Structure 1
Amino acid sequence: MSKLKVGVIGCGSISRWRHLPEYAANQQVEIVAVCDIVEERAKEMAEEYNATAYTDYETMLSEADLDVVSVCTPNYLHAPMSIAALNAGKHVLCEKPMATSEEEALAMIEAAEKNGKKLMIAHNQRFVPSHVKARELIENGAIGKIYSFRTAFGHGGPEGWSIDGKDSWFFRKEEAFIGAMGDLGVHKTDLMRYLLGEEFVEVGAFVESSAKENSDVDDSAVCVLKSESGIVGTLAASWAYKKSEDNSTVIYGEKGVLRLEDHPQYGLVAQYTNGEVVNYELGRIQSNDEGGQTGTRVIEHFVNSIINDTVPPIDGESGMKSLKVVLGALESSETKKIVQLS
C-alpha cells in the first residue's frame, strides 16, 4: 500500500514536538506539506522534513496532494480549518480542545460524516501506559465499585512551552477562547470519561484568572464533577503550578485506591483494602518540562484507524463530550450554579 500523504497546518510547538516527529517515525505516512502564517517557521519545518512550505492553508489544501491533515493552530481556528480540510476530502487530526462551542464541534462532526473521512481529536492522555492499565483494572473489577476521584493537570504555563513564549496566543481570549481549562482541563475531562467508562452529567466550577499578567483567559480552575452512576470527584487545571508539573489522578473504589502518575518511580500504584500494594513500573508520563512528549501514540492510532477503516479512538463525538464538560464548567463559574450536562 502506498504511504498516506500528510500536511500539517501550524508549525508551532505542538507540531514540532509531537505531530511532525511522530509522523516522521511512522512507516505508513509521508510528510509532504507544512503550513504556517510565519513563513520562516514553515520553511524551517519544510526543510527539516523534506516537505513543501505554505503560508496559506487553503492554498495547501487545493495544491498539495494530501490524504491527511493535522490542525495544530490556535483554538479559534480548529473548527474552520478542520471543516475546510474535511470538505477537501482529507482525514483530519485536530488538536484539543476541538472547538470553541458545541455548534462548531457539531459542524466538524457533520463535515466528517458528509465527506466520509476520519476526524480524531488529539487527546493523548488515554494512551499513557498507567492510564491504559488503570482502565483495565477498573473494567476487570479489581477495585470494585468506584466512589470518587481527584485529577489534576498543572504546570507553570504555556510561556515555557509555546514557541512565542509570553507573547503566545494562549493568553489572548479572542484566539484561545479558554485558558488552562482548554489547554489542560479538557485533557482530564477526556481521561476521566475514558477511565470511568461513563459520561459526566453535572459540573460545578470555580474558574479564575489570577496568576498571569497581560492575560484575559483563565489560569486556575477547580471543578466538581458527577457521573451517570453517581461517582463524584474533583478536577483541577492550572498554569500556576510554578515549581513542577502535576499530572496525577487518584481513583477511590470499594476494594482499593489507584494512584496514577502520583509516585516518583511508579506510573501506577494500586493499594488494596486487604493490605496488598502493587507497584507498576510502566514508564513515566513525559512532561512539558522535558521538552515535550514524543511517542504519545496519537499519530499511530490515527493512522491505523485510516488504514484499517475503523473508528478513531477519540472521534468527533468523543471530543465533543469532553469539550462539553469544559463548556459546562465555564458556565457554572459564570452563573455560580451547578450545570446539567445534557
Structure 2
Amino acid sequence: MTILKIGVIGCGSIARHRHLPEYAAHKNAEIAAVCDIVEERADEMAVKYGARAYTNYEELLADPSLDAISVCTPNYLHAPVSIAALNAGKHVLCEKPMATSKEEADAMIEAAKQSGKKLMIGHNQRFVPSHVKARQLIESGAAGRIYSFRTAFGHPGPEGWSIDGRESWFFKKEEAFIGAMGDLGVHKADLIRYLLGEEIVEAAAFVESSSKPNSTVDDNAVCILKSESGIIGTLAASWSYGKEDNSTIIYGEKAVFRLEDNPEYSLVVQYTNGETVKYELGRIQSNEEGGQSSSQVIKHFVDSIANNHPVPVDGVEGKRSLGIILAALESTETKQIVSLKEKQLI
C-alpha cells in the first residue's frame, strides 16, 4: 500500500500530543513536512520526525510530493489554510472548530468539492469507545424513546495545555474567535448529534467571560438545545472547572445512559426494570495526566484516503456541529431562541 506523505501546519500542543505521534505510529503515513511561524518549533519537530521544516505554509503547500495536510493552527486560520491546501490538491484534516463562520465553513466544503480531495474535521469524541457503544445501544432501541440529555466538557483552561500557557492564542478573540465554546463546546455539540442520530434545530444560551483575566473570549457557557424530534437537553462548556468533566447522560424511556460519568466504568446503563450494566471500555482521551491515548482521528483520516472511503466527519458534519455553537453565541447576544434552520446552519 502507498505510504502517504503528510504535512502538519502548526506545531503547538495539538500537533505535538496527537497529530504528529499518531501519524508516526501509522504504518501508511510518513511525516514529510512541518510548519510553524515560530522557527524553533518547526525545526524541533522536523528533527524529531525526520521532516522538512517551513515557517510559511504556502511554501509547504507548494511541495507536490505531499498527499495530505493536518491544519493545527489557531482557529482563525483553519479556513484559509484548509482552502489553500485543498486548492493545492492535498487532502485535509482540520482541527475543530472547522471555521469561525458559516460562510467560511461553506467555502471549505466547496473547496473540497471542487478539488475532489477529502476534508475531515477532527471531532475525536465520536471515536471514544463508550460513545460508540452508547450509539449502538440507542440505535438498537435499548433506551427506548430519548427524552433528554445533559453533556458537559470543562477543565481548568488551556493555559495548562497550550504551548504558550497564559499567553496562548486561545484567549485572544482575534485569533481564537471563541473560547471554551470553540475549544470544548463544539466537541459536545458534535457528540450529541452523533449519539442522538438527529440534528439540533433550536438553541438558547448564556455565554460568559468570567474566570480568565486578560481574556477576550468566553470561558463559561450553558446552552439549552432542542432536536428535530423534540429531545431537549443542556450542553455546558467551561474553562473554570477545577477538575476535568467530560461526561454525558442520556435519559430515555427504558434506560439512563451515563457516559464517562464514573471513574471505573466508561459507560453505565441503568434500565428502568432495575438492571444495571457497567461497561469498562477504556479511558476517554483527556488533557489531564495520562489522558493522551490515541484519538483515532488520524487512523480514520489516513485509512479513508488509503482505501478511498468517505471520511467519518466531513465538512458538512463539521459545519452542523459548528452551527450549534454559532447559534448559541447569537442567542446570548440577542437573548432569543435561535433556529438553526432559519440561519441555514443545518
TM range (shorter): over 0.9
TM-score norm. by structure 2 comes to 0.98
- Secondary structure in structure 2 of the residue aligned to 1:66: coil
* Cα displacement string for residues 278-330 of structure 1 (whole angstroms, at most 9, x for unaligned residues): 00000121320126523110001111111121211100000000000000000
Check whether the contact 1:18–1:292 (CA below 8 A) recurs between aligned residues: no
Displacement after TM superposition at 1:39 (Å): 0.2
1:159 matched to 2:159? The reply is yes
Equivalent residue runs for 1:273-312 within 5 Å: 273-290=272-289, 293-312=292-311
Distance 1:286 1:311 in 2: 24
Displacement after TM superposition at 1:80 (Å): 0.2
Runs of 4+ in structure 1 deviating by more than 4 angstroms, as ranges, are none
- Secondary structure in structure 2 of the residue aligned to 1:159: helix
Displacement after TM superposition at 1:63 (Å): 3.0
1:171 matched to 2:171? The reply is yes
2:82 — aligned with what? 82
RMSD: 0.8
Check whether the contact 1:21–1:294 (CA below 8 A) recurs between aligned residues: no
* Cα displacement string for residues 94-131 of structure 1 (whole angstroms, at most 9, x for unaligned residues): 00000000000000000001000000000000000000
- Secondary structure in structure 1 of the residue aligned to 2:150: strand
The runs of 5 or more residues in structure 2 that have no matched partner are: 342-346
- Secondary structure in structure 2 of the residue aligned to 1:216: coil
* Cα displacement string for residues 200-235 of structure 1 (whole angstroms, at most 9, x for unaligned residues): 000000000000000010000000000000000000
Distance 2:116 2:140 in 1: 35
Distance 2:141 2:293 in 1: 32
Identical-residue share of aligned pairs (%): 74
1:252 — aligned with what? 251
Distance 2:52 2:315 in 1: 29
Give the length in aligned residue pairs. Answer: 341
Distance 2:42 2:290 in 1: 20
TM-score norm. by structure 1 comes to 0.99
Distance 1:83 1:197 in 2: 29
**Amino acid across the alignment from 1:150:** R
2:344 — aligned with what? none
- Are residues 83 and 292 of structure 1, via their aligned partners in 2, closer, same or farther at CA, if it must alter by over 3 Å? farther
Check whether the contact 2:205–2:331 (CA below 8 A) recurs between aligned residues: yes
- Secondary structure in structure 1 of the residue aligned to 2:62: helix
The runs of 5 or more residues in structure 1 that have no matched partner are: none
Equivalent residue runs for 1:89-108 within 5 Å: 89-108=89-108
1:333 matched to 2:332? The reply is yes
2:122 — aligned with what? 122
* Cα displacement string for residues 131-173 of structure 1 (whole angstroms, at most 9, x for unaligned residues): 0000000000001000000000000000000000000000000
1:181 matched to 2:192? The reply is no
- Secondary structure in structure 1 of the residue aligned to 2:226: strand
Distance 2:311 2:241 in 1: 33
Displacement after TM superposition at 1:64 (Å): 5.7
**Amino acid across the alignment from 1:79:** A
